[in-house]
């Protein structure tokens, strides 16, 4: 896959808690120039980012934001309301973090209910479910593939990038093998090179979350 095609799969991401508006606007400029899949930014910047893209850059580039980020242990109601606000502000795509405590307690019904609640709060929008694969056993990852497949979500996503582990070829291949055909795989966290991106795509990723990959693809 050539660099231009890879760029089209990248959610150009900036989720630093100290990101200022200049950094966010630069992210948008780069994403539009490279025809990325989306920009992924903190919820507090969604409304401003949508206005900047639509009015100033005259771009329909999708705006993605994160819910329950990065730890995921907020209540279902908090995530539901956070999603409602993000959609009201103009978000096109939602990347939610699951409650890992539910997984560790074997409460997969609670995880499923939580995802379905977020799904209900963003009808017609793309929903990606972050399972934080680096924190899960193989059996837990496979079970989460089943849960996400039943939930109505569009993607299963490997990582937040904030938990000490990122996307691996093994995890992407495992998720692709066990998730339903209608669910896509997003690889995120630690994707720094074109070669990494190509390998993850070959393993089954159909979307990439990365903060520095577009700079590599420009070269």
3-state secondary structure 129-151: EECCHHHCCHHHHHHHHHHHHHH
179: phi then psi, degrees, rounded to nearest 5: -85, 155
Catalytic member of 125, 128, 184, 186:
186
Catalytic member of 76, 157, 171, 184:
157
Is-catalytic flag, 20? no
Is-catalytic flag, 141? no
What is the b/e burial string over 142-176, where b = at least 16 CB atoms within 10 angstroms of the residue's CB?
A: ebbbebbbebbbbbbbbbbbebebbbbeebbbbbb
Closest CA to 143 of 170, 105, 116, 117: 105
Catalytic member of 95, 125, 143, 184:
95
Which 8-state DSSP code applies to residue 71? T
Is-catalytic flag, 157? yes
Residues making up the chain, counted from first to last? 219
> Which are the catalytic amino acids?
95, 157, 186
């Amino acid at each position: 896959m050539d660099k231009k095609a890879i760029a089209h799969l990248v959610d150009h991401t900036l989720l630093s808690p100290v990101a200022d508006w200049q950094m966010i606007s630069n992210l948008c400029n780069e994403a539009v120039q490279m025809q990325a899949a989306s920009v992924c930014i903190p919820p507090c910047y969604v409304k401003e980012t949508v206005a900047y893209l639509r009015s100033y850059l005259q771009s329909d580039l999708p705006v993605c934001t994160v819910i329950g980020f990065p730890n995921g242990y907020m209540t279902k109601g908090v995530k539901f309301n956070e999603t409602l606000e993000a959609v009201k502000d103009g978000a096109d795509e939602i990347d939610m973090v699951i409650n890992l405590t539910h997984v560790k307690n074997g409460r997969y019904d609670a995880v499923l209910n939580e995802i379905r609640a977020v799904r209900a709060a963003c009808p017609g929008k793309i929903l990606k479910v972050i399972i934080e694969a680096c924190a899960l056993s193989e059996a837990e990852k496979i079970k989460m593939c089943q849960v996400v497949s039943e939930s109505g979500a569009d993607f299963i996503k490997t990582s937040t990038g904030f938990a000490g582990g990122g996307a691996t070829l093994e995890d992407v291949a495992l998720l692709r093998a066990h998730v339903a055909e209608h669910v896509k795989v997003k690889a995120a966290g630690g994707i720094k090179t074109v070669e990494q991106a190509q390998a993850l795509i070959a393993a089954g990723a159909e979307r990439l979350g990365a903060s520095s990959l577009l700079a590599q693809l420009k070269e």
